[in-house]
Amino acid sequence: MKFDTPASTNPIDQMKVIGQPKDRVEGKLKTTGTATYAYEQRAALSPPAYGYVVGSAIGKGRISSIDSSEARQASGVIAIVTHENAGQLDRGIFYVDRALAGPKVDHYHQAVAIVVAETFEQARAASALLRVYYVRETGAYDLSAQRASATTPAAGAFGPPPHTEIGDFEGAFTQAAVTLDGHYTTPDHAHAMMEPHATIAQWQGDKLTLWTSIQQMNWGVRDLAKTLGIPKGNIHLISPYIGGGFGGKGTILCDAVLASLASKEAGRPVKVALPRPLMFNNLTHRPATIQRIRLGANSDGKLTAVGHESWSGNLRGGRTEAATASTRTLYAGANRMTRLYLAQLDLAEGSAMRAPGEAPGMMALEIAMDEMAEKLGMDPVRFRVINDTQVDPEQPDRRFSQRQLVECLNKGADHFGWARRNTHPAKELRDGWWVGLGMASAIRGAPTTKSAARVRLDREGIVTVETDMTDIGTGSYTIIAQTAAEMMGVDMDKVNVNLGDSHFPESSGSGGQWGAASSTAGVYAACVKLREAVSMKLGLDPTLTEFVAGHVRQGSISLPLTTATKDGELVSEDFMEFGDLAKEYAQQTFGAHFVEVGVNAATGEIRIRRQLAVCAAGRILNPKTARSQIIGGMTMGAGAALMEEMVVDHRLGFFVNHDLASYEVPVHADIPHQEVIFLDEVDPYATPLKAKGVGELGISGAAAAIANAIYNATGIRVRDYPITLDKLIDHLPEVG
């Protein structure tokens, strides 16, 4: 099925199941500990051995030799794989990092070996006996030091163009009545998901099965096949449950590759879980940025010049952080410029992390908008409202399919009590705490991608959905079950959903905020086909039949759904591919964040008191799971604003705080009150369900709203994240 015309009325519009706050289908399994994650799978043909990955002890250089003799004699050791016996390895398409170092070492903790033993403890003990000898080389580890050597990257499949220009930005900025020229920095961030990267690998002849933690099954099959040099058809990936990913499990990484190599060498299944310290320096992360934002406006507050430049670093061949993405479409302004620059760094690979581009870009842009509003003497909400646009600023003849940014801003301001905000910073002192309010806009793209599903209807009237879509904690099982139930006219307890198996029809996978909208569209397509098959089986006109309460109705005829399967189950498979509507209409999700903070007048300690997000993101398929996504993003935004920073040792080239003890993330005590409001919206240009994704909208703008609240509380403007008390304490206002 092809979606190339706006959606009209269809069975989804009944909203009997879709749009309802249904409990998560797999919730009981997860809360009782019976959901089986990658490392816990027991489907291997024989008990697996354990692999322990050894990371490089240097940041850049080469391996001169490896002495494994003592390690091989250790108790329980079965095999050791290094570059000397791994064979020729390629790299996948999405990530540029090599899964196994040797003889060249590209970054600290790049894998140099995997030791396989009967038990985990034996493998770990033997790994300490492996002698790896290095020749250290000088590396580049400091983005600010490499900024001057950064170059404009080539355009790629992901992210915005590296350079855009509309009108005469430099001229308009020079002539503007009011201008702002600000520099902002964001540090490296870790995904810090609860479930570590883990894989169980098993060979049967030339066929390879992996139980692994991965977001994109199709990417994983593609990249593993390319890395190992084997046909894609020989690979089977299984990933029914994933304990968080945030982009860090987009496709296969070293755990999957090394488990595969170790299993081949050991001649039996091997299971691998990466220790937390190795995850920080071996795997991908959100790279640091240095950003310059220039804004020019007339005295009435209308923007005339919008310029955004961003510098980030990566391994050779890696992508830049797309920090200018949101700036291109969020506000009006006739004269515009964005530029991305990429420096080569010898740190672990920088890649996608929740709302790549928008999250760090808006950490800068939305502070700059507040600074500009102050220069103009305007309320920050009003400044954003008057610079709204209903057309793509870069393509004025291209309208947004839906754009309720102004509605989000106004609704949030009213609900949060924005009118009570003191417009002068450092004026609200309550019980020894400076109190302030801040806000920011939110925008995140609403992409869709081809997605397929298979739907079965058995003799008992049970509908079973099969698709390789994954659930990374986002509620995929639930919204897919709701879609099938609505389409087939049955209750949710009559629907089974099977996900995360590469032998199932190929879906969008989880990532990019495209998973929910795309995968449910694929299920919709398969259900349309199944409805047709049922109608034909019953001798009814497919265009006139209704599926209601387990029955098929047409006029005065009403037959149980099971009548169609009395001779055996019916199976339909189809996919949804998307036409040019996304080219004809700009498709985005929008929102507004509002925050109240307290800053201790004596210590500079920062406490979030309450957060509000107002979102417009198409039809909300399940308000309960959607709310969870938004508050999760808001919480990650709080971490980015106040505490998260991977600290780089610029001498030796590694992230120093490489565990969850020293890489701080928000806990319950940090987040006392969060509220989410969804505006009523359907977007017929998006999908047949008129829905969009929400998983990354919640983080976009959230950090800047906190930064702006801190400024309102204290009068201290911090442009370098995270905003920690040491950046405030010497500048706190005097207590009168």
3-12 pLDDT, tens digit each:
999 999 999 9
d(CA 108, CA 314): 14
d(CA 522, CA 454): 9
Q: What is the mean pLDDT of residues 699-713?
A: 98
d(CA 517, CA 684): 12
Q: Which domains does the chain have, with CATH numbers?
A: 2-35+448-582 (3.30.365.10), 398-444+587-731 (3.30.365.10)
Residue 82 CB partners (closer than 8 Å, separation 6+)? 66, 68, 100, 102, 112, 113
Q: What is the mean pLDDT of residues 393-402?
A: 97
Percentage, residues of the chain above pLDDT 70: 100
Q: Mark out the alpha helices in 387-423 (DSSP H runs).
A: 405-416
Q: Is 70 a catalytic residue?
A: no
What is each CA distance from 565 to 463, 528, 570, in whole angstroms? 11, 17, 6
Q: Mean pLDDT, the chain, as a whole number?
A: 97
d(CA 703, CA 723): 10
Q: What is the mean pLDDT of residues 370-393?
A: 98
Question: What ranges make up the beta strands (E) of 570-701?
Answer: 570-578, 588-600, 606-616, 648-649, 654-655, 674-678
On the question of pLDDT at 155 being above 90, the answer is no
d(CA 155, CA 162): 6
What is each CA distance from 266 to 50, 112, 255, 259, 260, in whole angstroms? 10, 17, 16, 10, 10
Q: Are strands 495-498 and 546-548 parallel, antiparallel or unpaired?
A: unpaired
What is each CA distance from 733 to 325, 431, 433, in whole angstroms? 36, 15, 11
Question: Could you tell me which of 317, 318, 308 has the C-alpha nearest to residue 352?
Answer: 318
Q: Is residue 376 a contact partner of residue 179, using CB atoms and an 8 Å limit?
A: no
Q: Are strands 674-678 and 606-616 parallel, antiparallel or unpaired?
A: parallel
From 460, 546, 696, 734, the catalytic residue: 696
Question: What ranges make up the beta strands (E) of 601-700?
Answer: 606-616, 648-649, 654-655, 674-678
pLDDT at 55: 98
On the question of pLDDT at 160 being above 90, the answer is no
pLDDT at 292: 98
For the residues of 329-350, what is the DSSP string, one character each? TSS--SEEEEEEEEEE--SSPB
The structure tokens 């919206």 sit at: 681
Q: What is the mean pLDDT of residues 120-130?
A: 98
Burial class from Cβ neighbours inside 10 Å (0-12, 13-18, 19+) for residue 142 reads middle
Element counts in the chain: helices (H) and strands (E) = 16, 32
Q: What is the mean pLDDT of residues 415-443?
A: 98
pLDDT at 159: 81
Tens of pLDDT, residues 630-680: 999 999 999 999 999 999 999 999 999 999 999 999 999 999 999 999 999
On the question of pLDDT at 375 being above 90, the answer is yes
220, containing H or E segment? helix 217-228
Tell me if residue 118 falls in helix, strand or coil: coil
For the residues of 48-68, what is the DSSP string, one character each? -EEEEEEEPSSSSEEEEEEE-
On the question of pLDDT at 736 being above 90, the answer is no
d(CA 25, CA 150): 48
On the question of pLDDT at 101 being above 80, the answer is yes
Tens of pLDDT, residues 488-523: 999 999 999 999 999 999 999 999 999 999 999 999
pLDDT at 687: 98
pLDDT at 157: 77
d(CA 301, CA 378): 8
HSE at residue 219, side-chain half, CA atoms within 13 A, is 21
pLDDT at 158: 81
- Can you give the pTM of this predicted structure? 0.97
